[in-house]
Structures are given as C-alpha cells and as structure tokens.
C-alpha cells in the first residue's frame, strides 16, 4: 500500500486547545470535519500519545483555531513539534481566552466544542463533538495540510529551533 496517497486527502491545519488544570494544552491537528448539522457536530482525530488528548478526555471540551496561509511558521512549530506535557505552548504565542478555552490570535475561525462520543483506535481517538460556539474572524485562504507538507513543515521546524 502506498501510504503517501493519504497526503492527497484535503484538510486544513488547526490549533487544538484544551484546559489542563490551571493552564492550557494545545497541539496541531489536521483531521477535522463537519459530520452533522443537527446538532452541528465535528469529528476530530487525536493521537493517543498526545497530552492535549488526555486533557480533552478529562474536561470533555476543546477549542479549534483555523489557521491561515499567512500564519507565523513559529505557531505551527510551537504546537506541532513539542509536547504540552513539557512546555507551556500558549505562553509563547499571541492568544485569547473565551469561555475558559484558548484560541490563537489571527485565525480564520474559532470553534468551541463539547465531546459527545469517542472511539478509541490503535493510534488515535476519534471524537464526535457538538459545536457550542463558532465565529468567523477573517477572510483569508486556509492553511491546508498539503501546504504544510509542501513548504511549511521545514520552515516551521527551523523557526522553533531559532526561538
């Protein structure tokens, strides 16, 4: 099987946020899609080794910030190449908090979600979550996973090492 074919599936890049006691956790995710409109619901897949996933399991809520193509590569590096278990990722980036959840500044849209169901797979957990709040913020082109793999990933990693 040619697993590189999976990279041809289109999806965006998002910053996932969750509460972690008195601070926040976060990570980059790409597997998000709307799955229903009554109630409005999203599916989100998280790696089972993600610390942010463990925070979602405890709180039952998460935030999503939709990233644009013009996002600072450090944002992607900060949330994608290190663990919230060891680093306070939100301390390093401009963000705001609404209803107890963190969101990246300069995003295209935000979503506050409450987990309805979860399905454990070997490598990931699939969450089905109700969208409690949604907000359009800017009209720019979204950062896709293809964009990330094509040119953003190497630049992002370099930006993380520079900080």
Of 17-31, 58-72, 107-121, 145-159, least confident by mean pLDDT is: 145-159
> What pTM, to 2 d.p., does this model score?
0.89
Q: Tell me whether residue 2 is exposed, middle or buried, using C-beta atoms within 10 angstroms of its C-beta: 0 to 12, 13 to 18, 19 or more.
A: exposed
Q: Above pLDDT 90, what percent of the chain?
A: 69
Query: Which range is least confidently modeled, 54-58, 91-95, 117-121, 157-161?
Result: 157-161
- Give the C-alpha separation, 108 to 69, whole Å: 10
- Print the SS3 string covering 88-142: CHHHHCCEEEECCEEEECCCCEEEEEEEEEEEECCCEEEEEEEEEEEEECCCCCE
Structure confidence by residue, pLDDT tens digits, 123-135: 999 999 999 999 9
Question: What DSSP element (H or E) covers 61?
Answer: strand 61-66
Residue 154 banded pLDDT, cuts 50, 70, 90: low
Q: Answer yes or no: is pLDDT of 104 > 70.
A: yes
Per-residue pLDDT band for 145 (boundaries 50, 70, 90) equals confident
Instruction: Give CA separation, 98 vs 31, 56, 131, in Å.
Output: 23, 16, 14
**How many H helices and E strands in the chain?**
4, 9
């Amino acid at each position: 099987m040619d697993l590189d074919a999976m990279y041809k599936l289109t999806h965006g890049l998002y910053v996932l946020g969750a509460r972690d006691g008195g601070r926040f956790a976060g990570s980059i995710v790409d597997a998000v899609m709307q799955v229903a409109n009554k109630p409005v619901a999203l599916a989100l897949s998280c790696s089972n080794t993600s610390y942010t996933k463990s925070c979602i399991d405890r709180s039952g809520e998460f935030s999503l910030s939709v990233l644009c193509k013009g996002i600072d590569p450090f944002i992607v590096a900060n949330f994608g190449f290190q663990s919230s278990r060891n680093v306070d990722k939100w301390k390093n980036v401009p963000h705001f908090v609404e209803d107890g959840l963190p969101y990246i500044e300069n995003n295209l849209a935000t979503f506050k979600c409450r987990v309805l169901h979860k399905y454990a797979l070997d490598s990931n957990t699939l969450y089905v979550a109700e969208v409690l709040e949604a907000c359009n913020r800017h009209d720019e082109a979204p950062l896709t996973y293809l964009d990330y793999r094509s040119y953003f990933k190497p630049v992002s990693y370099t930006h993380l090492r520079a900080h």
